[in-house]
Structure 1
Amino acid sequence: MKPRHVVEKLSEANNVWFGSFDVGNSKNLTLLIDTGSSDVIVSPGLYKGGPHSVDTSSTFANTYGTTESDGSEPEQSGAVYGRFEHHLYYSGVGTLCRHCSQWKDLKKDALAELDTGTATVIGPLDDVIAIFKAASIRYVIQISEDSGTSVTGYFPCDRPPTLELSIPSQSNATAAAKQNSKLVSHHSSTFNIAPDQWIAADNRSNNCTAILSGTDAFPIPDLWVVGQPFFHGTYVDHNLKDGTLGFAPARCTN
């Protein structure tokens, strides 16, 4: 049995955080720590009311689509959204550089759901295919009657691309400056998905599955679900009073 109230990584990709918790008289349950979900959901039969529990006789409908232990499936739940832009940069010989002539500005004003409960990054099908083509990433398209069309990318493990996300988008930052907004930054800042975060699976023979995938199954057509790889090395400030999020490169101190 796990000790109470601990938080640990617990997934094949070692990217998703789980914690143990108590609710009512139910003890030592396991919780997926997921900022992309608006509710705490307990599986049927696990919840036992405590002495202070109240039956409100209310009915509600709730759906939750995560089925894999690594949190990689799209979720049908509440989320935090924002606008961002993403860029791809690489050099002709495959080495990464900061100011390359092959700079690609691939998407503007994309709608993003920031979700620590998702182990990957999932975007609209056509946008992701465009990124794969620009980065010369081999990809496979799959069609399912149940989950629609999806695309998965594969790249040489020793030559991962780098994806940049600019938050907020330039148009949002410009609008905020004109309106003298105190809630939205007047400048767009760039955050990288680090090269060492690109590997979702090592298939051997220098062939890796990318953490980026595409789908046409999201209810919002232009939605991006930005998960764990983005948060690696990023400090996130949750301002509940103003309902805003702040981002900065994480700085570790001894």
Structure 2
Amino acid sequence: MQQPTLGFIGAGNMSHSIISGLVKGGYPASAIIASNPSNPKLDELKSKFSIRTSNDNLEAAASEVVILAVKPQILKQVCETLSHIDFSNKLVVSIAAGVTCDRIAQYLGQDVRVVRAMPNTPSLLGLGMTGLYAAKGCSDTDRQLAGHLMQAVGEITWVEQESGIDQVIACAGSAPAYFFLMMEAMEESAVNSLGVSREQAREMIQQTAIGAAAMVKQNPDLSLAELRNRVTSKGGTTAKAIEHFEQQGLRDTVDGAMKAAVKRAVEMAQQF
């Protein structure tokens, strides 16, 4: 695949992670530029990856692919400063949560090819899950390029309707926090109810979570229910714990939480 110039507007953690993955994967550093109002993050990117940097967003926006990596609250302001640039031959990849493709085109004041990307925080470790949506007008090449960018920080999945990004938020974007909450609750129980030291509880719980996720990934032909059943001996300790979860309505709680995440995503899209 031809390697076009990439301009990252915003030099936060996600830009850092994507740039790191790209450069480590062989993408030429000379083809990457990042812009940011202040210098510390730019200096780190330049020192680590030898990319070009600038305090001027217009310089980054001169690239063939423009990655909008700023907070949604300031995206309108950032885009309006770029609106006099001709985007007709550029691809825009936005990782700003809650801002639709139409709204980005409105902010830029012109028709533009936009791909929305919704990565999650494990992307910072190269273990991310990113949902992608390509707006009308994007070519197969645009999709391939956007996919290549986000594969630098993990796995990707495409949705065919923009509303599907809200589902990605519930299943992946917000989901690390669900697991953290479960682990937090287990740690608190281990310490406060069972008398385990916090250090030992943390070690056991985090390693168990890593192992459980690995078993899921390495057994794609087994359903999650089957994996659970294989751990759950009839009448045993695990069965008793699972019985309690079911009695307390864990499934309904999770279902409600995921629906709440989607509802909030829809509300945010109306705000920006």
TM-score range, shorter chain: under 0.3
What's the TM-score, normalizing by structure 1?
Answer: 0.24
Higher fraction of strand: 1
Larger radius of gyration: 2
